[in-house]
A = this chain, B = another copy of it.
Amino acid sequence: MSRFLSKEAARLAPYTPGEQPTDAQYIKLNTNESPFPPSPKLMKAMTRAEGLKLNLYSDPTCSHLNEAIACHFELQPENVISGNGSDEILAFAFRAFCGEGKGVAYADVTYGFYKAQVALFGLEPTIIPLREDFTLNVDDYMDFPGTIVIANPNAPTGMAVSRMDIQRLLEANPDRVVIVDEAYVDFGAESCVPMIYRYDNLLVVQTMSKSRQLAGGRVGYALGSPELIGALNRVKYSFNPYNVNRLSLIAGAAAVEDEAYFQQCCGAIQGNRKWLVSELEALGFTVLPSYANFVFAKSDQIGGGDLYRLLKENGILVRWFDADRIRDYVRITIGSMEQLVELVDEISRLLEDM
């Protein structure tokens, strides 16, 4: 370790993002991006005139974007905070709602980045195992006194919990915050947004990276009571007040306003998912029930690590996690039908060769 590093930085657990190769043309099914381009309305909103204003700071309050998001969800702007991707928003939430005397709990199998972020703030999380079948039992969280983080649908399993289950958690202890990370919710799970007016301890985090074709624009947001949003703003204004750039403010507003395109893209992903699941099952895979834009699947013939490597050698990237309980699986993003047909062909060939 460097002699310059603080003790706190030495204890960090930096995250390894999915491969983003720039050197070769892969069929990229490893980071849960949308296979579709951004909304045509978004492209129209990103004008030359807006580019010419890049010498001026972006609006630190993100007012136009927050209003567009609030309007879409039938909330008020004071229920919204926007960020440089939902990862930034999650970091704000860990600092705002966890610390000395306020613990944090999440599942053993969930979004791997929580671990990196809690380490950033020196938090020691309580890890609560999913059931054997990867379902989440909310009763396991009932007595936990601190902040709860639930990815719904969960990553990398794609499995969902019901709104009713989250409601039970919110009601069991109104003094603790429940953070529901809905990065993948638009592909079929029940969103908790309709409960925001009712529970001031509910924070819903969403992203435009998946269902709104804007991973490269970095726009995420949280929805919650003005009290929770105010707490997140305390952190934002202590970290980076101008956290969303000018063009992303415009892109995000346009993306959230184009409901027709959003519905069409989400529908296509759900259709493609259905097809992929049936093909994989026909090839002997076990596929967890997915409500996300990816599936988590294991073969009865080949291990997860081997499948990942063989697919990569043949130009297809999927994600494999070398971690307990999930080592046999690969996570496959729902791409376009063309991409999925190539994937299924390739897997069939690999299995025939075994």
The interface size of chain A toward B, counting residues with CB under 8 Å, comes to 90
Verify B56–A46 contact, CB threshold 8 A. no
A141 at interface by CB-CB < 8 Å: no
Contact A85 B240, CB 8 Å, known A56-B33, A246-B217? yes
Chain B: which residue is nearest A118 at the CB level? Answer: B238
Complex Cα gap A55–B9 (Å): 32
Contacts of A5 in B (CB 8 A): 96-97, 231, 234
A218 at interface by CB-CB < 8 Å: yes
Chain B: which residue is nearest A121 at the CB level? Answer: B8
Contact A46 B38, CB 8 Å, known A60-B20, A201-B4, A231-B2? no
Complex Cα gap A46–B46 (Å): 10
Tell which of A11-19, A125-133, A305-313 binds the partner. Answer: A11-19
Interface centre among A16, A59, A96, A201, by most chain B C-beta atoms within 10 angstroms, is A96
A157 at interface by CB-CB < 8 Å: no
Verify A22–B59 contact, CB threshold 8 A. yes
Verify B85–A54 contact, CB threshold 8 A. no
Complex Cα gap A236–B120 (Å): 10
Which residue of the partner chain, among B22, B34, B98, B245, contacts A55 with CB atoms under 8 Å? B34
Chain B: which residue is nearest A101 at the CB level? Answer: B7
Tell which of A68-76, A87-95, A279-287, A316-324 binds the partner. Answer: A87-95
Verify B100–A6 contact, CB threshold 8 A. yes
Contacts of A6 in B (CB 8 A): 95-100, 102
Chain B: which residue is nearest A91 at the CB level? Answer: B239
A275 at interface by CB-CB < 8 Å: no
Chain B: which residue is nearest A10 at the CB level? Answer: B234
Which residues A48-62 have CB closer than 8 A to chain B?
Answer: 48, 51-61
A142 at interface by CB-CB < 8 Å: no
Tell which of A182-190, A207-215, A296-304 binds the partner. Answer: A207-215
Verify A238–B13 contact, CB threshold 8 A. yes
Interface centre among A28, A95, A216, by most chain B C-beta atoms within 10 angstroms, is A216
Contacts of A216 in B (CB 8 A): 53-58, 245-247
Closest chain-B Cβ to A30's Cβ sits at a distance in Å of: 10
Verify A63–B14 contact, CB threshold 8 A. no
Verify A9–B95 contact, CB threshold 8 A. yes
Chain B: which residue is nearest A60 at the CB level? Answer: B17
A345 at interface by CB-CB < 8 Å: no
Produce 1/0 per residue, A263-287, CB < 8 A to B.
0000000000000000000000000
Chain A residues within 8 Å of B, Cβ to Cβ = 2-9, 12-17, 20, 22, 28, 31, 33-38, 42-43, 46, 48, 51-61, 63-64, 84-85, 87-88, 91, 95-102, 116-117, 119-121, 175, 177, 201, 209, 213-218, 227-228, 230-231, 233-248, 251
